[in-house]
């Protein structure tokens, strides 16, 4: 028999990934829905269902940002200590950037002309 070393290979926790995706998507959908609920008298040139694009794009971008947060924690966070703090900070920055870009792309041509 040969001795096999543990190379630190970890598997991805699918329920945790799905939980991160759902939380990120719910956050994006909620924030954008609150933001869009304050729109009074939208421009008729936007069409009747203009609000669907910002809702969908921002929701998907926030879910992608949450996935990025999970992978930062997966790659760096398991070591603990400063690596965990760095992983959380980089993950939060990545989530905020993804959410911001999703809101800009979603609102382009409507509220942000």
pLDDT at 19: 96
Residue 40 lies in a domain: yes
**Full domain range(s) for residue 63:** 14-107
pLDDT surpasses 90 at 77: no
Nearest to 94 by CA among 61, 59, 56, 68: 68
pLDDT at 7: 57
Top pLDDT among 3 and 60 is at 60
Q: What is the pLDDT of residues 34-76, one digit of tens each?
A: 999 988 888 888 888 889 999 999 999 999 999 999 999 888 8
Residue 113 lies in a domain: no
Residue 76 lies in a domain: yes
Cα 72 from Cα 93, distance rounded (Å)? 11
Number of domains the chain is built from: 1
pLDDT surpasses 80 at 102: yes
pTM for the model stands at 0.85
pLDDT surpasses 90 at 78: no
């Amino acid at each position: 028999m040969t001795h096999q070393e543990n190379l630190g290979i970890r598997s991805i926790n699918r329920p945790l990934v799905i939980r991160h995706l759902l939380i990120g998507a719910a956050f994006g959908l909620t924030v954008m829905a609150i933001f869009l609920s304050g729109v009074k008298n939208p421009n008729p040139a936007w069409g009747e269902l203009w609000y669907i694009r910002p809702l969908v794009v921002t929701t998907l971008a926030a879910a992608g940002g949450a996935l990025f947060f999970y992978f930062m924690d997966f790659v760096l966070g398991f070591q603990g200590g400063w690596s965990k703090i760095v992983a959380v900070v980089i993950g939060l920055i990545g989530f905020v950037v993804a959410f911001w870009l999703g809101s800009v792309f979603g609102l382009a041509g409507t509220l942000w002309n």
